[in-house]
A = this chain, B = another copy of it.
Amino acid sequence: MPSDEDLGPQLSGRLGYLLKRAHLGLAELHEEVLAPFGVSDRELAILLLLDGREPESQQQLAHRLGVDRTTMVALIDALERKELVARRPDPADRRRNVIALTDAGQQTRRDATRASDEAERRLLHDLDDAEADRFRALLRRVARPRRD
């Protein structure tokens, strides 16, 4: 990724550029800290989505993650291969797969979440605690779902 001097003030101050760089920076940190646990940031999101909920179908999960159900198939495939989640047919409706965290999945969720916390801390490294809280609070308001 280029530095500010490369870009010039016209582009380097634009919100789109800043958000992209922050997002990309966090993605890189996540890749680094999650590597020991064998999951991607994306997969951690699914583990978090599954945790502490009634077991759900792939389709419900896909909807909550904001992807198509066809996209969900490969994501669950990967997590199942790693034995972090299990598919079982819903007895009440055998068209459905119910997805649940395995014990290993629970453990990975805990460990990977701690690692992700560390990635977030490193992203906000230049901010003191009060500034970090302020940033998070403002970002939450900016990230509100659009009301079109």
Give residues in A with beta carbon < 8 Å to B.
Answer: 1-4, 6-8, 10-11, 13-23, 25-30, 41, 45, 48-49, 51-53, 63-66, 116, 120, 123-124, 126-127, 131, 134-136, 138-146
Contact = CB atoms under 8 A, between A and B. Distances in A.
B30 A23 contact: no
Give the secondary structure class of A's interface.
Answer: helix
Copies of this chain: 2
Contacts of A23: 16, 19-20, 23
B22 A142 contact: yes
Given A4-B145, A8-B49, A19-B26, 4 more contacts: A8-B53, A10-B52, A19-B143, A21-B143
B139 A127 contact: no
A23 to B, nearest CB: 4
A18 to B, nearest CB: 4
10 contacts: A2-B64, A14-B120, A15-B120, A16-B26, A16-B27, A19-B19, A19-B139, A25-B146, A127-B142, A134-B134
